[in-house]
Amino acid sequence: MTAGQLPRWVDYGLMPALNVAAAFLVSGLVVLLIGENPVEAVKVLVWGSLGRNEGIGFTLFYATNFIFTGLAVAIAFHAGLFNIGGEGQAYLGGLGVALACLALDRYVPWWVTLPFAVLGAAAFGAAWAFIPAILQAKRGSHVVITTIMFNFIAASLMVYLLVNLLSKRGSMQPETRTFESGGRLPLLQDVLPGTDFGSAPVNFSFLLALAACLLVWIVVWRTRLGYEIRTFGANPVAAVYAGISPLRITVVTMLMSGGLAGMMAINEIMGSQHRLLIEFVSGYGFVGIAVALMGRAHPVGIVFAAVLFGMLYQGGAELAFEMPTITRDMIVVIQGLVILFAGALEHMFRPALLRIFGVLAARPAPAA
């Protein structure tokens, strides 16, 4: 039983840190490969994302998206499910937000619209996750493949809706009309006195994202439902023994996951774009996978990981300006490397660490 075990701090601290370090080390090598200085690049990146108020504002704006999509992936992880459909669920969530805003923005202030927008985002996102969930629970079709398919179906559906039904009359642009003030969230600097983020679009949804973190934490670790989710994810046989229904947990968890992914649209649509437009999700749903893996599926870790990826997105833009050879595609590379090292290769360092700590542990043994 004791063989093959590492101290807790190694398992939960050192090994994830090593994995992320490896990802960034390889990223540095990529920068070297295209003939730039990685140290300089990091300096530009950090300055660009944290050096000025506006940079911080953009960092937090992006982080808001990633918190939502990261939580979506994470809560599914807890039930042993892999939801790759965050992209499509967020896209549909945008539809829910837009419908609420278009219906109400001319008549009521934003804080009246907001609950309806949140409901719309969560409901549409959840609905898009429901079919894959029920198909896995009832018919055994794997949720990974079906959610991928649903991403593409969502893309086609939204193009159709935007082109044919939702676009402004007389316009060729596949987007809705711009919302009036009742469909726009206030900027964070207008809500929190004393803050100034320049022209950055970080808005009220950032607070919503933090609230979602707290909510997810409560649900997962403080409710009976969360207990059932974690039990099912960790040991499905024990879950059945304990009288937990696999069908119910699969569906409920996927609904929450899809709802959280859909909430991302609040930030983009109601907080920044103020209209529903084509491809506004632009890969943020997928970033959630990296964020959840890096944050070890815990809300606190997810906030940190989301801010880090926010820095990459904002600092990356700055970097592309200062060092034109390092385009924003660098972020996608880093994202891929984080998923690879923190996800697929998460146990790569385990044998080496076991040997090291095995030797350390064995040393005092003869005396004992």
Partner 1 sequence: MFETLIFVLDSTARLSTPLLLAALAGLYSERSGIFDIGLEGKMLGAAFAAGTAAALSGSAWTGLGAGILVSVALALVHGFACITNRGNQIVSGVAINFLAMGLTALLGQAWFGQGGRTPSVTGDARFGDVTWPFAAELRDVPVIGGLYSELLSGHNILVYAAFLAVPFSWWVLYRTRFGLRLRAVGENPGAVDTAGISVTWLRYRAVICTGILCGFAGTYLSIGQSASFIANMTAGKGFIALAALIFAKWKPVPVMFACLLFGFLDAVAIRLQGQQVPGIGEVPVQAIQALPYILTVVLLAGFIGKAVPPRAGGTAYVKERS
Partner 2 sequence: MSDQLAIELVGVDKRFGQVHANKDIHLKVRKGSIHGIVGENGAGKSTLMSILYGFYHADSGEIRVDGKPVSIPSSQAAIALGIGMVHQHFMLVENFTVLENVILGAEGGALLAGGVSRARAELKRLAADYDLKVDPDALIEDLPVGLQQRVEILKALFRSADILILDEPTGVLTPAEADHLFRILRVLRDEGKTVLLITHKLREIMAVTDEVSVMRRGEIVATRQTSKTSMGELAELMVGRRVLLEVEKGPPQPGRPVLTVENLTVRDTRGVDVVRNVSLEVRAGEIVGIAGVSGNGQSELLEAIAGIRAVTSGIVTVDGTRVDLARAGTDPAAMRGLGLAHVPEDRHRMGLVTRFPECENAILGYHRDPTYGRGPFLDFDRIRNAAKTEIEKYDIRPADCMLKTANFSGGNQQKIVLAREIERDPVILLVGQPTRGVDIGAIEFIHKRIVALRDAGKGVLLVSVELDEIRALADRVLVMFDGQVVGERAPETAESELGLLMAGASGQEAAE
Residues of this chain that interact with partner 1 (CB under 8 A) are 30, 33-35, 82, 84, 131, 135, 139-142, 144-146, 148-150, 152-153, 156-157, 159-160, 163-164, 286, 289, 293, 325-327, 329-337, 339-340, 343-348
Q: Would you give the distance in Å from CA 43 to the centre of its chain?
A: 25
Q: How many residues bind partner 2 (CB under 8 A)?
A: 22
- 39 part of the interface to partner 2, by CB under 8 A: no
- Partner whose footprint covers residue 157, from partner 2, partner 1, none (CB < 5 to 8 Å by kind): partner 1
Q: CB of residue 362 vs partner 2: minimum separation in angstroms?
A: 14
- Partner whose footprint covers residue 5, from partner 1, partner 2, none (CB < 5 to 8 Å by kind): partner 2
Q: Are 87 and 285 in contact (CB under 8 A)?
A: yes
Q: CB of residue 247 vs partner 1: minimum separation in angstroms?
A: 15
Determine which residue in the list 24, 227, 304, 357 makes contact with partner 2, applying CB under 8 A. Answer: 227
- Partner whose footprint covers residue 227, from partner 2, partner 1, none (CB < 5 to 8 Å by kind): partner 2
Measured from the CB atom, the residue of 149 and 225 that comes closer to partner 1 is 149
Question: How far is it, in rounded angstroms, from Cα 296 to Cα 44?
Answer: 28
- Partner whose footprint covers residue 248, from partner 2, partner 1, none (CB < 5 to 8 Å by kind): none
Measured from the CB atom, the residue of 44 and 334 that comes closer to partner 1 is 334
- Partner whose footprint covers residue 235, from partner 2, partner 1, none (CB < 5 to 8 Å by kind): partner 2
Question: How far is it, in rounded angstroms, from Cα 247 to Cα 265?
Answer: 28
Cβ density class 308-325: b for 16+ within 10 Å, e for less = bbbbbbbbbbbbbebbee
**From 54-62, 118-126, 219-227, 246-254, span contacting partner 2 (CB under 8 A):** 219-227
Question: How far is it, in rounded angstroms, from Cα 208 to Cα 191?
Answer: 12
Determine which residue in the list 33, 237, 365, 368 makes contact with partner 2, applying CB under 8 A. Answer: 237
What are 246's two structure tokens? 């696999």
Q: Are 52 and 270 in contact (CB under 8 A)?
A: no
- Partner whose footprint covers residue 148, from partner 2, partner 1, none (CB < 5 to 8 Å by kind): partner 1
Question: How far is it, in rounded angstroms, from Cα 232 to Cα 19?
Answer: 27
List Cβ neighbours of 87 (8 Å cut-off, separation of 6 or more).
151, 154, 261, 281, 283, 284, 285, 286
CA–CA distance from 241 to each of 78, 220, 235, 245 (Å)?
Answer: 18, 20, 10, 10
Q: CB of residue 316 vs partner 1: minimum separation in angstroms?
A: 11
* Phi–psi pair at 203, nearest 5 degrees: -140, -170
